[in-house]
Amino acid sequence: MQVYKFGGASVRSAEGIRNINRIVSGVKEDLFIVVSAMGKTTNAMEIVLDYFMKADHQAALTKLAEVESYHYDIINELFKNPEVGFAAIRPFITELENYITRGVGDDYDSWYDRLVSYGEIISTTIVSTYLTESGIENAWLDLRGLIVTDSNFREANVRMEDSQVRLKKAADFTKNRIYIGQGFIGANIKGDPTTLGREGSDYSAAVVANLLNAESVTIWKDVPGILNADPRLFENTVHIPELTYLDAVELAYSGAQIIHPKTIKPLENKHIPLYVRPFGSPDEAGSVIKATTDSPIDVPVLIVRKNQVLITIRPRDFSFVLEESLSKAFAVMNKHRLKVAMIQSSAVSISVCVDNSRYLEGALDELGNEFKVSYNDGLELLTIRGITDEIVLKTTNGRNILLTQRTRRSGRYLMRE
């Protein structure tokens, strides 16, 4: 069997969903389809959540009505009989309305997962109902009951053994050839919904592929495959047809937005190849990520990770940084979920570059109890793989660089945005 994943951009319009139909109808073997929330629905649901947390129930309901009508417009355009589509998603909207009017926003992270996960529940319901209407039989699965995670809300970790037992039973491909499930979401053992981190649907697809021993995963994206740089930021980008798992992990870690960093591990474990293919031109090959390749990447790769913060930490008492204080500092950052992209240490200080996030303030506060802390925000981290002096000059000339790390093969430059 194969796993196909369609991201938010692929399902943002009726036309996109018709295209899924076209792609899927050409597949004759068993298929598990993972779908993200439509378009910018996750962002919109985050706004619903923010109002809810502020106990502004009216504003939350108004924003939810916007989300609902966005989906209704798509259904209207897509279905022969739109009533069937409306009826399929209405119960979920009602559940959300009930949470909003009756719930008390106490814990942000668990409410995030409870409410925001409906984006995927609704998108998969629309895709599944539409495929059925078009004569493509399929079974819709609620992965909140099948992908079992820990209770680390908003960044949950999948418990592979527990999930495998459940998923294999639910998706056994005896009565059905096609299953449809949500990216990004799962639930803890008690059944509380969880999410796997923003952009986590790729990871879901990889987890499903691992659990069901898929032959391959295909991520359908609105790009021609994997490129050596983001074409929105750099000119003359080059297509990379083949990458190893290790290349992919490095690129994702450096901030390449092409796939979620957690995606590779479940695939690498079972040597499952990952194809990245252009949604708009399904006949093109795209790129493949696999264990080994005969054509190693021979162009420089440029990756920009935006919205970075440089934090410098000094022990208050001149004790050596590299001892206990190092582990203390990292324990605090880990607790506050800071994602560390770069580390540099000296005799008396440690500097780390982290993603800016809503957790930053809490982390800085707690670090401040123990250390002298200073920080700069509004930075971007440029990673160059296959470095040459010419590229360094071209990309960093005249920029304000706060931190540099260079090896023979690659360079990293933390600069003001």
The reply to whether 200 sits near ligand ASP by the rule CB under 6 A is yes
Site map (CB under 6 A) of ligand ASP, residues 14-53, x = contact? ----------------------xx----x-----------
Q: Does 328 bind ligand ASP (CB under 6 A)?
A: no
Task: Name which of 233, 220, 299 is nearest 259 in CA terms.
Answer: 220
Site for ligand ASP in 171-190 (CB under 6 A): 183-184
- Out of Mg ion, ligand ASP, none, which partner does residue 200 contact, by CB within 5 to 8 A per kind? ligand ASP
Report the residue number, 183 or 224, with the smaller CB distance to ligand ASP.
183
Beta carbon of residue 36, minimum distance to ligand ASP (angstroms, whole number)? 3
* Cα separation, 302 vs 275, whole angstroms: 21
DSSP strands (E only) in 356-398 = 371-385
User: Between 36 and 129, whose beta carbon lies closer to Mg ion?
Assistant: 36
How far apart CA 26 and CA 21 sit, in angstroms, is 9
10/228 with CB nearer Mg ion: 10
Rounding to the nearest 10 degrees, give the CA dihedral for residues 219, 196, 361, 382.
Answer: -20
> Please, which residue, 267 or 313, has the CB nearer to ligand ASP?
267
Q: What share of the chain is helix, strand, coil (3-state, %, to 5)?
A: 40, 25, 35
Nearer to ligand ASP, 36 or 129 (CB): 36
* 3-class DSSP state of 245: helix
Beta-strand runs (E) in 127-188: 139-140, 178-182, 185-187
Q: Is-contact 350 311, C-beta < 8 A?
A: no
201 lies in the binding site for ligand ASP (CB under 6 A): yes
Using CB under 6 A as the criterion, what x/- string covers residues 109-148 for binding ligand ASP?
----------x-----------------------------
For ligand ASP, the closer of residues 122 and 329 by Cβ is 122
Cα separation of 416 and 396, whole Å? 10
Who's near 402: CB < 8 A, 6+ residues apart? 310, 376, 379, 414, 415, 416
Least distance CB 8 / Mg ion (angstroms): 4
| Chain contacts with ligand ASP (rule: CB under 6 A) | 7-8, 36-37, 42, 119, 183-184, 198-201
